[in-house]
Amino acid sequence: MGDASPAAAATSAAAAEAVTSAASAPRPFQELLLGRIRDVADFPQPGVTFKDITPLLADPATFSALVDAFVAHAHRPEVGPVDKVVGIEARGFILAAPVAYRLGAGFVPVRKKGKLPGATLEQAYLLEYGDATVEVVTDAFSDGDRVLVVDDVLATGGTVEATIELVHRAGAEVAGVAVLMELSFLGGRERLAPVVDRLHALLTV
Q: Distance between CA 65 and CA 28 in Å, rounded?
A: 12
Work out the angle between the directed axes of helices 91-103 and 60-74 (0-180°, nearest 10).
60
Contacts of 193 (CB under 8 A, 6+ apart): none
The catalytic residue among 36, 89, 91, 198 is 91
Secondary structure of 129-140 as H, E, C letters = CEEEEEEEECCC
Instruction: Give catalytic status of residue 91 as yes or no.
Output: yes
Which helix or strand (DSSP H or E) is residue 66 part of?
A: helix 60-74
The catalytic residue among 17, 102, 122, 128 is 128
The burial of 84, by beta-carbon neighbours within 10 Å (0-12 exposed, 13-18 middle, 19 or more buried), is given as buried
Residue 117: phi and psi, rounded to 5, are -80, 160
Instruction: Give catalytic status of residue 198 as yes or no.
Output: no
128-131 contacts: CB < 8 A, separation 24 or more?
Answer: 128/48, 128/155, 128/156, 128/186, 129/44, 129/45, 129/48
Catalytic center residues: 91, 128
